[in-house]
């Protein structure tokens, strides 16, 4: 039986070629090897954002108006006093709150009270708001807002100052 001697250089070239062809095949199949990020994985987001428009039944929106999202199970509140100026919001004033994924009730309030509203009065995002704030709308039941990690839930307008 005779053996054929294959030079080492040729073996190395053949191995590299086979690996390259395999990589091209995988990329054509929609599979790509994981990117090298230094061995660190990016954690998946655990929070989402709630955003909406602000309003107040007067000439303007008080600067101390605060918006909160209250977790329906833990009762923990995530609040902001920052008013965002943007054309996309009703009356050009809105808010954004970051909160962990979960279910929330969203409300606005004036911490010191004002214009006949006590400090503990809450203007919720509720069925009255989604019905159009009309006298024909009879329900003021708060709506539970679901926050999904990495997502923004928009048009959550805590505007029921009429309950």
Q: Which of 3.40.1440, 1.20.120, 2.60.40, 3.30.70 would CATH assign to domain 47-153? A: 2.60.40
Tally of helices (H runs) and strands (E runs) in the chain: 2, 9
- Predicted confidence (pLDDT) at residue 42 exceeds the cutoff of 70: yes
Instruction: Supply the pTM of this predicted model.
Output: 0.73
As beta bridge partners, residue 52 has 95
User: Collapsing DSSP states into helix, strand and coil, what is residue 17?
Assistant: helix
Please write the tens of the pLDDT for every residue from 80-116.
Answer: 999 999 999 989 999 999 999 999 999 999 998 876 7
DSSP 64-93: T-EEEEEETTT--EEEE-PPEE-TTSGGGE
């Amino acid at each position: 039986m005779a053996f054929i001697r294959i030079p080492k250089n040729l073996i190395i070239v053949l191995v590299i070629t086979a690996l390259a062809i395999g990589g091209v095949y995988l990329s054509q199949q929609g599979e790509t090897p994981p990117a090298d990020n230094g061995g660190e994985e990016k954690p998946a987001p655990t929070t989402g954002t709630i955003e909406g428009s602000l309003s107040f039944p007067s000439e303007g929106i008080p600067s101390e108006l605060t918006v909160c999202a209250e977790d329906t199970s833990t009762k923990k509140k995530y609040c902001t006093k920052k008013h965002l100026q943007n054309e996309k919001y009703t009356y050009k004033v809105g808010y954004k709150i970051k909160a962990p994924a979960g279910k929330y009730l969203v409300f606005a309030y004036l911490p010191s009270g004002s214009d006949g509203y006590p400090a503990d009065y809450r203007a919720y995002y509720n069925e009255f708001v989604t019905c159009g704030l009309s006298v024909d709308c009879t329900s003021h039941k708060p709506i539970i807002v679901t926050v999904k990690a990495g997502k923004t839930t928009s048009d959550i307008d805590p505007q029921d100052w009429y309950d």
